[in-house]
Structure 1
Amino acid sequence: MVTNIALAREILSKLIVEVIHVEYYHCTSDWRLINEIDKFNKLYFIIEGEGYGKIDNVEFQVHPGQFILIPSNSIHSFHSYENKDIVKYFCHFKSKTGDLELFDFLEVPYSVDVPNANSLIELFKQLIESFTSNDYMAVLKENTALLQLIMYYFEHIDNEEIRIAKTKSNEILSNVINYITNNLSKNININDLAELVYLHPNYFIKYFKKHMGSSPKNYMNKLRLEKAKELLLISELSIIDISKEIGYSDSCYFSKYFKKKTGFTPSEFRNIKRR
């Protein structure tokens, strides 16, 4: 059975990020954000100072070494304590997966304490340098640095604290992915998948593509290709048997499709990767 980790992997594999603004900033003791709502996400890394924070209904104390994530469209309030200026790095960004925002899919804690501030500061410095550069390669460096910041945040959270948001959309996607993964050897058609989640086939195709970034057919072919590669590397099954395992009754068609996607026949792939 596929776990929520499998769905999270699919979500993250489609992730596209965009930096809106990044800066090192000194907030004076009169700094205030009251019930603010933004269309973008925010990352704060607190260097100095203390204050109050609230994101949606979660309240917490702001302190040095704290890495804070504020998802888009969340209601958030922050302020410094009296005579306690706050020095921070911050980044405003968008993170799309398919047509939707990443944190509409994933629920994570709003803050983590960072044990090694120097490595995180270095990432922010790299991001600022790229963001303010006129070099034509800067946008690639910028996106890479932002992805590293997001990864750094996730790496400092226990897996149990990362949850798929309990929405109807995520329930539908999870059921479909479970079914496809557990039935790759079968002839799965769109009507079967649509019926599984009680949607009209035409609507289901649009719905799936919007959320997953590919059509159900392309997604199934991707999983079949990944499974074929795995079986070629870890098993001694014949090409004919592998093609049946992933739902292809015609092994010649499977071999042609495999070569089209990888540049190798299944036998060539097996031999090259096992050297």
Structure 2
Amino acid sequence: MDRNEFLILDIPIQYLPENTSDMYIRLDKQWGSIRYLLLEEAKSQESTSSLVDLTRYVTSKLQISKPLSIEYIHKHYKESIRLETLAKIEHYHPVYYSAWFKDKTGKSPKVYISELRLNEAKQLLISTGWSMSKISEELGFENSSSFSRWFVRCEGLPPQKFRILNNR
């Protein structure tokens, strides 16, 4: 925790995804293990096939890795999330974080979170018989009327009507 450790990989361009502008990932235990394997295989001069396999594995992990703040959003979108919290996770100033997030996702953090909640709301309306109170509570709204107002703003119709139209 006291040291800054970096794993810098020089990966051939043909193995990389198109957008490599933000391929920085925290060196957790898993990445530390990958680093160890890469170093050990690099020391061993026997065969390069294991290094090639490890390189492919690393690039596939980089392609599916989400930034920590986006993972946080997906785990906590039913709760109130502050921009400052998200920015702190990525070690950015909130103003810079908003621009970074929009560049990464094409949406503001507020719109992104709202879309996650809306998709979950639609799923719950279609797949459960839960009351509006239960659904609004599940999604972190203070009450069912605030949930209904929000749903109408987003979808243009009340959640009860959405449920009826989509359960035919």
- TM-score, normalised to structure 2, is 0.62
Query: 1:165 is matched with which residue: 52, 56, 62?
Result: 62
Deviation per CA, 1:157-190: give whole Å up to 9, x if none: xxx9x93636xxx86x432222112112211111
Paired positions, count: 121
* Aligned-residue RMSD, C-alpha: 2.8
Q: Do residues 104 (structure 1) and 1 (structure 2) align?
A: no
- Residue 116 of structure 1 corresponds to none
Name the residue aligned to 1:126. none
Superposed CA offset, 1:238-269 (max 9, x none)? 11221122222132122122112222211111
Q: Distance in 2 between matches of 1:264 and 1:255?
A: 9
**Structure 2 stretches of 5 or more lacking a match?**
1-11, 21-56
CA distance in 1, matches of 2:133, 2:148: 9
2:105: which partner in 1? Answer: 212
Partner of 2:134: 241
| Change in CA separation of 1:205 and 1:57 when aligned onto 2, cut-off 3 Å | closer
Q: Which structure has the larger Rg?
A: 1
User: Structure 1 pair 272/194, CA: closer, same or farther in 2 (3 Å)?
Assistant: same
- Aligned counterpart, 1:192: 85
Q: How does 1:24-103 map to 2 (within 5 A)?
A: 56=13, 103=18
Name the counterpart of 2:37: none
What percent identity do the matched residue pairs reach?
31
The one-letter code of the counterpart of 2:62 is A
Residue 202 (structure 1) shift: 1.3
> Contact 1:185–1:244 (CA<8 Å) still a contact in 2?
no
Match of 2:124 in 1: 231
Determine which structure has greater relative contact order: mean sequence separation of CA pairs < 8 Å that are 6+ residues apart, divided by chain length. Answer: 1
Amino acid at match of 1:103: E
- Counterpart CA distance in 1 for 2:120 and 2:160 is 15
The structure richer in strand per residue is 1
Q: Are residue 260 (structure 1) and residue 153 (structure 2) matched? A: yes
Large movers: runs of 4+ above 4 Å? 55-58
Using the size of structure 1 for normalisation, the TM-score is 0.39
Closer/same/farther in 2, CA of residues 57 and 274 from structure 1, 3 Å limit: closer
